[in-house]
């Protein structure tokens, strides 16, 4: 398994809309394994293919404490969302070190395909519901900071751009 490079906000590639997966082959299984390894290594609880510059509708999630309950969602769609909404402090592997409250439906019902192309439905609550919605946003080209005020978003963008410049300077000095 390969640890993939995670795109960092404000990289424009994070705003590409993902296309549906149509081929369930070895390439897809390898991508799923690599994405899972990348997510666990980061460490995180979810990763969308868009975040690793593969613009296909694929998400891996594991909200377990033991990192042994990987869930794969291919071509996911929300069938239902609750009227009740909750604010969760969200973070993102593409926006490292930044956490902020985002209001989302408290529960969702999702239909997707598994790694073999078999359809399934899941009713998600709590962290899983948040994670599914967050990762599905990535597939639509949306990053969670876009739910924040323009002032907060600009501060985050400036901070991450500065960190990136410093990292590039350090690499150049080596």
| Burial 69-88, CB ≥16 within 10 A → b, else e | ebbbbbbbebeebeeeebeb
d(CA 34, CA 36): 5
Beta strand spans in 7-117 (E)? 46-48, 58-61, 71-81, 85-92, 95-105, 107-113
Residue 55 is assigned to a ligand binding site: no
Does 131 count as an annotated binding residue?
no
Active site residues: 135
92 is in an annotated binding site: yes
Q: What share of the chain is helix, strand, coil (3-state, %, to 5)?
A: 40, 30, 30
Binding residues for Fe cation: 92, 134, 138
């Amino acid at each position: 398994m390969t640890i993939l490079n995670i795109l960092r906000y404000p990289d424009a590639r994070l705003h590409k809309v993902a296309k549906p997966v149509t081929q369930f082959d070895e390439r897809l299984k390898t991508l799923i394994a690599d994405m899972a390894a990348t997510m666990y290594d980061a460490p995180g609880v979810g990763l969308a293919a868009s975040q690793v510059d593969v613009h296909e509708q694929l998400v891996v999630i594991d909200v377990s404490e033991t990192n042994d309950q990987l869930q794969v969602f291919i071509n996911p769609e929300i069938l239902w969302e609750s009227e009740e909404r909750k604010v969760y402090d969200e973070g993102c592997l593409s926006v490292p070190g930044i956490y902020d409250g985002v209001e989302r439906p408290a529960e969702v019902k999702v239909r997707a395909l598994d790694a073999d192309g078999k359809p399934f439905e899941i009713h998600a609550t709590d962290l899983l519901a948040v994670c599914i919605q967050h990762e599905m946003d990535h597939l639509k080209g949306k990053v969670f900071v876009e739910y924040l005020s323009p002032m907060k978003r600009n501060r985050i963008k400036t901070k991450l751009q500065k960190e990136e410049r410093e990292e590039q300077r350090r690499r150049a000095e080596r």
